Amino acid sequence: MEMKMTKLEKWKEEAPTNCYACCTAALKEENDTPDQFGRSWRGRLSPLFWRVPIFVWSVAIISWSTAYFWGPREMFLLYMTHWGLILIFLESLFGIIVTVKKINGSLPDDKGLPWYVRTYWVLYNITVPVAFLITLFYWAVLRAPGKKINYAPNPILDVMLHGVNSGLMFVELMMSAHPSRLLHVMQPLYFALAYLLFTVAYYISGGLDPWGNAFIYPVINWAKPIQTLVVVTLTALFLALMHILTVGVAAARNFIARKCLKDKSGEYNDAFEA
């Protein structure tokens, strides 16, 4: 009971700081060391075994989707799907950098995180839930029965962009050793806000999609602001739910690691204590 009260008092004491950190999308660094970000929870299994293939996949799919884009090349970055693809490219690239530095012994030994580790962590916090959102939003809303617009005429590329993307990020989530935290929820939400502001600016400037429509996605049509705001609000809530799901999976992963591994050092995740 005394321990519970101590935790409650600690939570109350840190609440203003945690609230500020959450709103500003700051990283919450607790017992984190650079080493955690360059290894897997399976000990000797190097993250290079999955981060390098993810990086190669992202380069190949970016090249493929650019070459076979259904509209003018300058419109490639109109779509959240392609923003998410570039996120996967950057996240895997920085993940490889962190891992290689760990293998070379050039990661610092103290608990302070260098800039490239922090960059990787932010990209990870954004990329994983955004990938899940893109997949579910695409198949449930944009490709629902009765929809006429085909955003990926090539069926294989369609699955790569809107299915395999989530599968690869799930592998990254399940195999990594570093934590995911609830307080980082604003990082993917601010990324989504940046894309939303981009759609507003594009609409105001008179931009059209490849088919000549005055919107990028029919469900985000600023000519119908009320309908669009409802969709945007529900999407933001769903993205927050994807982040919570990510944190839950990471916590379950670490629980399994503590049960399976004899060496429990570094398997600390305070995601739900903040």
Q: How far apart are CA 84 and CA 156, in angstroms?
A: 18
User: What pLDDT is recorded for position 1?
Assistant: 45
8 A C-beta contact, residue 51 and residue 92: yes
User: What pLDDT is recorded for position 120?
Assistant: 98
State the alpha helices, DSSP H only, in the chain: 2-23, 48-67, 80-103, 115-137, 155-159, 165-175, 186-204, 225-260
- Residue of higher predicted confidence among 137 and 16: 137
Across the range 54-81, mean pLDDT stands at 94
pLDDT at 272 over 70: no
User: What pLDDT is recorded for position 21?
Assistant: 76
Lowest mean pLDDT among 39-43, 57-61, 201-205: 39-43
Q: How far apart are CA 220 and CA 182, in angstroms?
A: 28
The tens digit of pLDDT for each residue in 249-266 reads 999 999 988 887 764 444
User: What pLDDT is recorded for position 221?
Assistant: 94
8 A C-beta contact, residue 165 and residue 84: yes
pLDDT at 268 over 50: no
The tens digit of pLDDT for each residue in 131-161 reads 999 999 999 888 766 655 666 668 899 999 9
pLDDT at 213 over 60: yes
182 secondary structure, DSSP code: G
Q: How far apart are CA 218 and CA 211, in angstroms?
A: 12
**Cα angle value 269/126/273 (rounded, 5°):** 25
pLDDT at 13 over 50: yes
Write down the mean pLDDT value for the chain. Answer: 88
The pTM (predicted TM-score) of the whole model is 0.90
Going by pLDDT thresholds of 50, 70 and 90, the confidence category of residue 237 is: very high
